[in-house]
Chain A
Amino acid sequence: MTAHVPVRIAVLSFAHTHALSYVQALKQMPGVDLIAADWKPDAVVIAAENSRHRSLVERAAAAGVHVLCEKPLATTIEDAVAMHDACEQSGVILMVAYPVRFAPSVRDAIAELRSGRLGKILGVTGVNNGKLPQDRAWFTDPELAGGGALVDHVVHCADLLDELLGERAQSVRAVSNGILHSHRELEVETGGLVTIRYPSGVIATIDCSWSWPMSSATWGGLTLQIVAERGTLTVSPFAKGVSGHDAQGETWMPVGADLDALLLDEFVRAVREGRQSQPDAAVGIRTVEIVKAAQASAALHGEVVALR
């Protein structure tokens, strides 16, 4: 058995519910010491509110500490670029916590498409629907979260499109509304459709709506339907599980790999090996770009926004 180089990791902020999942996964990993931030960690996991990521990343970079930052990287492109630059100058890793691309079903789907078996990709429909995130109030705070469903649920599909297509978006067009959960009088959009065009001609639309009622048996799901020249491929990484009923109604027991653990495993390996890991800050910036363009488009009643 190989001895693992010990890595000291601190979790900064528990504002995001994923922090607990990260702690659970890190506790299981051999050679990882979970410590308090002021005990000079080798790396930090940042799970603060979206708009507070930048200051924490900059502090970590200044201290020469590697960073895994919760998605979205930032709520403005300016912040995202500043975080990228700070980490590059300090020579520390900045990885963005997009766990879905680590799902084995997603990896397999991307491999199948890359094999060329289905021909060139023509279009993609990405669906990331779920319940209203309500266990943390800041998720629907426009200041702290940077927006509503257009922020929370566009980025996961945007990350997968980034990995799948390997090109930067050309233009973004979005419409949104606040009909879902309207009785809560939220300040952010709860439903949205974001259409993206890529230089290769590929068209993609993301449905980012918080459209699963609170009575649903699970949090939601994500599906990519990819149309290629010689076939279509549909992948739903959270659809693996056992469904049934109990006295309260429908039940759902997810089955399959722990995606947060796979994400952290890659991060810790990169820290040990001293290399940048994917998805990196550049992916973080490109996905924030899509969110900002979508927000701008929706604010302009659906005008097409070109990425400069």
Chain B
Amino acid sequence: MSTLKVGLIGAGGISRVHADAWRALGAQGYVTSLAGAAEIADAYGFTLVEDVDTLLGLVDIVDIVTPSSTHADFALRAIARGLDVICEKPLAATAEAAAAVARAAEEAGVRLFPAHVVRYMGEYAAIKAHVEAGRIGTLAVQRFSRTGSAPQTPWFFSESTGGGVIRDLMIHDIDQAVWFAGPVATVYAVQNPPTIDDRVPAPVTSHVVLTHRNGVISHIHGSWGAPGMPFRTSVEVAGSEGRLRYDSAEDHTTRTDALLLEGGVTDYLPPMSPQESPYYAEIADFVASLREGRDARVSPADGIEAVAVAEAAYASIAVGAPVELTVPGRSVAEIQEAVR
């Protein structure tokens, strides 16, 4: 088997865990970015490439880890060159744009993998497996929470160009809610403080409540907190026969007690062994699904649905009322039936 050549577009916060996974998989890496690419190339043994077009001519698959507003454009450019694409979430800023990327990939006969990494986190995957196995009966109520320090890069705070706490952070749990309980019929969302003139405030907190087509109800809480706030997630899924829960605050697998250095880093992200790194599991699944010609754990349709729900959440905030989700191909009668 020839060595897989991967092109990493982007060198920001998330690029390191992707690069680490590619290195662990033995791929030959290339990287290009407006900033920071040299550091990634240096740290992970990647080849530094001048620009995106040059990169696209060198690789078999591209991995897009750029700011969200650029995802769809880079994906379309790679697809046009006949390359398979891994794209960080959100797949695009709007469901329409996400669907256009998926259509282009299908027409070009290439694969598209939206990187919803939480599907590869052991605890969430275990909940999915137990739900599928009927261990807790029929699903009824789900709850998700995700909190941490607000990001530092400005683009995260512009909703019109793909940022915002729902589209960037809570989309992880939107995807989980849909993965566990199926398609969404109605979305209601609130946020405090509100976004004014397209500027998302920080700190900020938001609640999104989903009614799934099968009647399951889901609550998703996300907050971007003050600098230095620890990152925490929790999930609880209740069904007719039982409930399953995970709270990272109660995860005692590893505990570090240490003196903090004056002015030291408080949001240290530890390196992860590939055996338990969800980023490694994610990229390994994508690569294996390519080689074996099978579906991956995340499909392009999943990426579109997550963006559609996030978009509906912003629409709900704008009108101060619940919003029905319209997914291409679903009739109004079908949606009304689902809400009933």
Contacts and interface: CB of A to CB of B under 8 A. Distances in A.
Contact of B240 (A181, A195, A202, A229): A181
Interface stretch (A11-19, A39-47, A205-213, A275-283): A205-213
A207 B219 contact: yes
Contacts of B207: 123, 125, 195, 203, 205
Contact of B322 (A182, A197, A304): A304
A176 B340 CA distance: 11
Contacts of B147: 227, 232
Interface stretch (A52-60, A81-89, A185-193): A185-193
A245 interface: no
Given A201-B193, A227-B147, A122 B203 contact: yes
Contacts of B209: 173, 175, 193, 195, 205
Interface of A: 122-123, 125, 127, 129, 173, 175-177, 179-183, 190-193, 195, 197, 201-203, 205, 207, 209, 211-213, 215, 225, 227, 229-232, 234, 301-304
Contacts of B339: 301
Contact of B215 (A179, A201, A205): A179
B219 A179 contact: no
B4 interface: no
A192 B215 CA distance: 11
Interface of B: 138-141, 143, 145, 147, 186, 188, 190-194, 203-207, 209, 211, 215-219, 221, 223, 225-226, 229, 238-243, 249, 320-322, 339-340
B188 A212 contact: no
Given A125-B219, A227-B225, A229-B203, A179 B240 contact: yes
B188 A302 contact: yes
Nearest to A198: B192
Given A195-B188, A302-B322, A304-B320, A122 B193 contact: yes
A179 B138 contact: yes
A225 B243 CA distance: 20
Given A227-B147, A227-B223, A302-B211, A213 B217 contact: no
A219 to B, nearest CB: 14
Nearest to B212: A177
Nearest to A180: B140
Contacts of A123: 192, 205-207, 221, 223
Contacts of B239: 179-180
Contacts of B217: 175-177, 191-193
Most buried by B among A175, A191, A192, A234: A175
A197 B207 CA distance: 11
